[in-house]
A = this chain, B = another copy of it.
Amino acid sequence: MSSQLTNRRVLLSSRPKGVPEADHFTVEDADVPEIADGEFLVKTEYWSVDPAMRGWVNDAPNYLPPVEIGAVMRSFAVGTVVASRHADYAEGEVVSGMFGWQRYAVSDGSNVDRKVEETDLPVSLALGVLGLNGVTAYFGLTDGCEPKAGETVVVSTAAGAVGSAVGQIAKIMGCRTVGITGSAEKAALCTNSLGYDVAINYRAEDVTGALKAACPDGIDCYFDNTSGPITDAVMTQLAIGARITICGTVAITDWDPLPVGPRVHRQLMVARARMQGLLILDYKPRFGEAIEHLAGWVREGKLARNEHILDGADAAPGAIKMLYEGRNNGKLLVHVD
């Protein structure tokens, strides 16, 4: 049995093809690591579960090298500095960063995303709406889609960790918002709690027809988390000058070999539209600007907390699969104590 004085860790034990499942990982207890000069020890409290983790474990070109077999699974996490021999980090400070799926992480600061200063708000938000998901939503929407008040913004995975923030921020910016999601329950969440003007359940409705009804003047902005058939439907209804942010491709489980789909070139040309890929880490120098806006909106009650929290390290191995199957409601996290 695990105690808080062991370092419970989740290791990648075999290389998945496509979406990793529970049996690609092993959970084990190790000793709490020692820190050297210039290092500090983080006791993590929440581990993040993100679509990008699929790419991190596959052996295909990506923006980061694949996680090695036998290594701790790469992930974002938030926790507290419990020991420090680093001048910039003091015991008791809360930090978020790429600490991995492990209870105790040694850091030299290079894998820290930020110190969490908004201690009036729940610490888990630093992995969601006040973390990479929130800043992804913020910059992907404001920079990538450049929505103007009155425009129509369509969001795929509309109730998910990023999508739910996109929809709410677009609403704050005065846009008409249309969310596409995968269950009646999530569709209700979209319109009841997340401020969407229209929610489309792609599992129950004809997406093309529903989009036509919801967007009679075409789609000005599309925040894409899916690729696949939902995106294909959106692409047939672009307004002139449409802007598309490609943030994720969760509907496609395997990109090797490249899957085929309708060619987008003529649609982009006829609409003079722009489609742009987003990697949020490129925005790191500007994260503070986003967090300030986002924390303000959370405090004002304009940006709802939207979290799905699993309990304990043993829940982590199956969590990525759960995400790809859409069985989460909101930002998926693992709570460890």
Q: A interface vs B, CB < 8 Å?
A: 61-63, 224, 227, 231, 246-249, 252, 255, 258-279, 282
Contacts and interface: CB of A to CB of B under 8 A. Distances in A.
Contact of A279 (B63, B227, B267, B269): B269
Top 6 nearest A-B pairs (CB, nearest first) are A269-B277, A268-B277, A258-B262, A227-B265, A274-B276, A260-B260
A259 to B, nearest CB: 5
Nearest to A236: B258
B272 A277 contact: yes
A246 B274 CA distance: 10
A162 B3 CA distance: 69
Contacts of A258: 262-263, 266
Tell me how many chains of this kind the complex includes. Answer: 2
Contacts of A278: 269, 272
Contacts of A274: 274-277
A266 B63 contact: no
A331 to B, nearest CB: 20
Contacts of A275: 264, 268, 274-276
19 contacts: A61-B270, A63-B270, A224-B265, A231-B265, A246-B265, A246-B269, A249-B266, A252-B265, A258-B266, A264-B275, A265-B277, A269-B277, A270-B277, A270-B279, A271-B277, A272-B278, A273-B276, A273-B277, A275-B276
Nearest to A52: B269
